[in-house]
Each structure stands twice: as C-alpha cells, then as structure tokens.
Structure 1
Amino acid sequence: MDIYLEPLVEELKLLWDGVRAYDAGARCPREDCWFTLHAICMWTIHDSPGLEFISGLAVSGTRGCPTCGDHLQAQYSTSLRSTYYLEHEKYLPFDHPLRAGCTDQIPPYMTMIDYCVLEARIQAGEVPRVSSGLNRVSVLLELPYWDSLLIQHLGDAMHEEGNVVKNLLQHIWRKVDTLNHRRACVEFGMHPHAWPYTRSNGVEAIPPAEWVMSSHHKRSMLRRLCAYSNDAYLHPSSRDNLIG
C-alpha cells in the first residue's frame, strides 16, 4: 500500500514547506496575486480494513484494536475458532452502571510512535511479546508533522455504524446465537443462565437468552421500522411481508 501513497506523501512534503500559487479569483494586480500555499493532511477516513492498509496496524486477532494496543484483553475461543475481546467495561465512565464494580483505569491510547517503540523493545528482547500489532511502519510517518497530530485516522461512520447495527440485529434475531456461541459462554465463564444443557433424550439444547427478541418483539420492531421507512426504499408489499 505504501508504494501507492509515496507520490502523495512527496507532494504533501512540498505543501508543508510551501509552494508558490496564483490566486485567480483575487481582484488585484497580477503581480500581487501570487502567494505561498501551505497544506497538510489532517487525517485519513476509512473503514477497519482500510485502517490496516493505511496505518500498517493490525485490526484483527489478539492485537485487533489499534487504539488499545498492548492494553487489549483478547482471548482465543476454541468453540468459535475466533478471537474474543474482553473487559470492555473499563473503557466506560466510572459512574456508568455497566461498569459492574470494575475499578480499572481507562488505559491510555497508543499512538504510532508508541507502536514503533514497543516493536523495538520486542526486537531487543525486552518485552516477551509475539506481536506488537505493527505489521509495518506507515509511509505517512515521513511527514514531518504526522506524529504530532492528535487524531491521525477516522472511521467511516457509514461503514462502522452499518457493521454495528448489522451485528446487533443478528444477535437479537438469533442469527449468530448458536450452540457454539453458548459453549463459548461456558468457556469464558460468562452468562451462566445462557449455558447449554442436556435434555432427557441426550440432546444438547440452549435456553432462551435475554438478548434474543421474541416473535412478538420482532414484529413490533419491524412495524416501527416500517413506519419510518421511505416508500422509495421499501415497497408496501415488502413491508407487509416483513411484518407478517
């Protein structure tokens, strides 16, 4: 990815030093319309895969959160064959009811310089880590001001919100609430009331979970969504099929 960004970075370096430009819209003598133009790249906007391409930081696995970095609590689930991220409550305000007695301090955010320092310590054997989460050093660090920016990367709201809503609906619609997901609850010691049990005939089953909506609640939610939907995006026949 850096090979595609190198021409842009070279131009941004020139704009940081300043280039001579002409103001064609100014009503002044021609010799007075020249000025020195400066510009910077304030931040980049992308989805999560784009963040990995641009920054060189991992967005999946045990180092899947570039902001948390080394403070991320991740654990691999053998039931789901994927990585789970734990201890989210420590990022909530101290007076938040969902903290549930968690007294951990909010960990500091990690910058690209922090990742480079951590990677250097790993290479020197000072830190017993397999991976720092830094796949490569981004070419954007060649910009003289990049490491001093408070915000370097922004998530695309359309993609991020869409992914959150999609996953939320899949959970409450029981699209991803399978036996393996309940076994993962047992594996991590979470939600004991939702653990699978064995019926009298020897078949393993899962009890109703509090996060799964009933048929009545699903229809009520769909009616509310259809009431606010635009006819240009949802045909009346489709609306009837959803509610029915």
Structure 2
Amino acid sequence: MELIKAIHVGQCTGKRKLSPLISGPTQPGNDIDIYLAPLIEDLKHMWETGVEVYDEYKKESFILRAMLFGTINDFPAYGNLSGYSVKGKCACPVCEDHTNWIRLEHCQKNVFLGHRRFLNTKHHYRKWKKAFNGESEEDRAPSPLTGDQLYEKVKLLSSKFGKPFSGELVTGGWKKKSIFFELPYWKSLYVRHFLDVMHIEKNVFDSVVGTLLNIPGKSKDGINARLDMQSMGLRNELRPVKKDGKRTFLPPAAHTLSRKEKKIFCKFLHNVKVPEGYSSNIKSLVSMKDLKLKGLKSHDGHVLMGNFLPIAIRSILPENVRWTITKLCFFFKAISSKVIDPEKLPTLQNEIVVTLCELEMYFPPLFLT
C-alpha cells in the first residue's frame, strides 16, 4: 500500500516549503506520526501566528493564516492516520464495538452485514426475514462520535513507535492518539479524514465484475462461499450438490452468468471506443479468450463503473440484480462528480443503504468483506 510518497506544504510567500520524503518500498504504518511531526509544527505556526504576505493589488501586507481541513486517504491509511485499527471484527471506526460482523468459517474472512439497521424504522426490508438472516431487524444505526467525544477516548493513549512486540499488538479499537490532535482546531472539525473514492470504487468494481465473470481469485462466489451460506442457513437452494460422489455442482444464483452472457458482456466492452485521453484502451483490457478483464488501473475501474458497466449488463441479468448494480454505479458516479448538490446528499445516503441491503440479498456474504 502506498500511504504517502511525499508531502509538500508550500506557503504563499514562496520562501518556506516542507517536503519530507518516505523512502523505501514499505509504508511506515503507525510510525507515520514521526514523518508528520514537522508538518504539524508548520500547520500550528500557520494557525497561531501566520505569515506576512504582500497583496500586490492593494499594495499592502497582511497576515495569512491557514488550517488543515482534513486528510484524503484510502481505508488502510485511514487507520494509520486516525489511530483506529481498521482490521479485524470491529473495523468500522464509526460503529466501533457495535460493528455487525460475521466470521466465515470456510472462506476465513470477516464480512460486514446488517445494513438494514441504517434504514428508516418503517422500511419494509426490516421485516423481511428469509431474504436476510432469518430475523427481522430492530436495531438502530450507531451515531458517529463528535471530535470532542473522540478526543476524550484517545487523549490518554500513548503512541509507541517502532515494531511492536507480540504482547503490544492492538487488534481492535483505538491504538493511539493521532498527532493531528496537536492542532488546536482538529477535534472541532466535523469530519477529519476523507476516504479516497477511486480506491473504494476500484475494489467494488473488481468484486462485481470478478463475481459476474467468475474470475479466479476475484470472484466472491465459489464452493467455500456456498458452504458458508449453507452453515449460516441462507438460501439453501444454492448449497453445493455433489454429483456421482466426485464433482461438486453449484446451482446458478441470481448473479450467475452463462457462457453466452459472459461473451455478450465482454464483447460489448471489447468494442467500446473512447476519445484519446479519456481512459486506457478498453479493448486491451478485455480477454475474449478467457472472458475476463485484466490489467485494470484505478481510473479504468472508475470509467467502467460510472459509464459502461450499467450498459454492459442491461440485457444479461435478472431485472432486480441488474437494477441493484446499476444503482451502485450511479452512486459512485454521483459522488465523483465535480459538482454535487448538497440537497441531494440525504437522498444518496438513503439510496446507497437500500442498495447495500439488496447486495446482501442477491450476492454471497463474502461479497461484503
């Protein structure tokens, strides 16, 4: 994982510039605070004292002050910067100990279900039992901690740098007080760390396409996934069936594509032509021989997810599954737009919760890692 290759903080005077470099192929993990210490000192100076800047238009000098609005990072980097352990059963820094997780016995993965608790209290999905875990949902969504509440939880935590001993490993919860709390305004910010959408979008795209095309290593469906569904009592009609005592047959699920449908899907993407500079040559990413996609970069996944995937699946999947994937694509396209209407954000929030519930209904639990 590439956490931070270089950090550049320039000031308008052009006289001071901070450029700490992290060398080597491995990211520093919890030790990122050591590299950030000089940056924090400059940010404190910019907030408390400021720098004198000359305004050429008004022909006068003024004191320029600046603040750090937040960080933008992928989810593993979120854990290093915020001090929360984003691995294991309580990987959600909002839900914390109330994270709804299940350990899959055969796939050996933690999956995160229970999205119905984020629906409004009268939504009909809350009463559906068979489509989910066999029970109705009465829980409410946990409330995010304010900056002051979070600071009270971490203010007494000490940071231990370097490689920890086995007895010092933190497997869940808050593991340190982030160095960003040295900024006097940090705990007052409503949001402190922002997730990079394109990283998440690429992972989701790989899971969706890998499952639809049954790409080895990327598919979220398989014998182990079906055995886990069987042990959880979900969709018993999809449990593996042994034929002749040797071969194992997997009944087709709602997301299963026939070879003909896979060819239709891949042929469409293979024939897509885009303007120069818009994305990679999509034709080169599609293998018609193996019926799979290969060599995708993050931006390729972004382009395919937001524009071409809804078109590619419009004639090859059941309507309910097709519409669920399409809504997922529309969500990523909406939040990746250059301009977002703030009044539409609550609607997007409600729609993505419903979409996640439907993904939980149609795809194996392994899909929601």
* TM-score (normalised: structure 2): 0.55
- The corresponding residue for 1:108 is 143
- The corresponding residue for 1:159 is 199
- The corresponding residue for 1:234 is 281
- The corresponding residue for 2:223 is 179
Q: 2:84 aligned with 1:57, yes or no?
A: yes
Q: 1:213 to 1:52 in 2, by over 3 A?
A: same
Q: Which amino acid aligns with 2:195?
A: G
Correspondence list, 1:73-222, <5 A: 73-94=100-121, 98-99=125-126, 100=128, 102-110=137-145, 114=149, 117=152, 132-175=172-215, 176=219, 177-201=221-245, 203-222=247-266
Is the partner of 1:21 in helix, strand or coil? strand
Q: 2:60 aligned with 1:13, yes or no?
A: no
Q: 1:243 to 1:170 in 2, by over 3 A?
A: closer
Q: Distance in 2 between matches of 1:238 and 1:74?
A: 35
Is the partner of 2:265 in helix, strand or coil? helix
How far does the alpha carbon of each residue in 1:8-32 deviate from its partner, in whole angstroms, 9 at most, with x for none?
Answer: 111111111132312253342xxxx
Of 10-19 and 110-119, more deviation after overlay is shown by: 110-119
Q: Which amino acid aligns with 1:50?
A: A
Q: Distance in 2 between matches of 1:188 and 1:37?
A: 59
CA contact (8 A) 2:85 2:175 kept: yes
- The corresponding residue for 1:124 is none
Q: Distance in 1 between matches of 2:274 and 2:256?
A: 27
Q: 1:108 to 1:23 in 2, by over 3 A?
A: same
How far does the alpha carbon of each residue in 1:49-104 deviate from its partner, in whole angstroms, 9 at most, with x for none?
Answer: 21122112122211211222222012222211121212122224456665435343
Of 18-27 and 58-67, more deviation after overlay is shown by: 18-27
Structure with larger Rg: 1
CA contact (8 A) 1:80 1:184 kept: yes
Q: Distance in 1 between matches of 2:204 and 2:212?
A: 12
Q: Distance in 1 between matches of 2:155 and 2:244?
A: 58
* TM-score (normalised: structure 1): 0.80
Q: 2:97 aligned with 1:67, yes or no?
A: no
Q: Distance in 2 between matches of 1:117 and 1:242?
A: 58
Query: Which runs of 5 or more structure 2 residues have no equivalent in the other structure?
Result: 1-31, 129-135, 157-169, 292-369
Instruction: Give the fraction of aligned pairs with identical amino acids, expressed as a percent.
Output: 27
- Give 1:243 deviation, angstroms: 10
Q: Which amino acid aligns with 2:194?
A: L
Q: Which amino acid aligns with 1:168?
A: V
Q: Which amino acid aligns with 1:46?
A: N
- The corresponding residue for 2:34 is 3
Q: Distance in 2 between matches of 1:119 and 1:73?
A: 23
Query: Which runs of 5 or more structure 1 residues have no equivalent in the other structure?
Result: 122-129
**Alignment: residue pair count:** 232
Q: Distance in 1 between matches of 2:275 and 2:290?
A: 15
Q: Distance in 1 between matches of 2:69 and 2:155?
A: 27
Is the partner of 1:62 in helix, strand or coil? coil
- Give 1:241 deviation, angstroms: 3.2
Is the partner of 1:135 in helix, strand or coil? coil
Q: 1:133 to 1:229 in 2, by over 3 A?
A: farther
Is the partner of 1:198 in helix, strand or coil? strand
CA contact (8 A) 1:222 1:242 kept: no
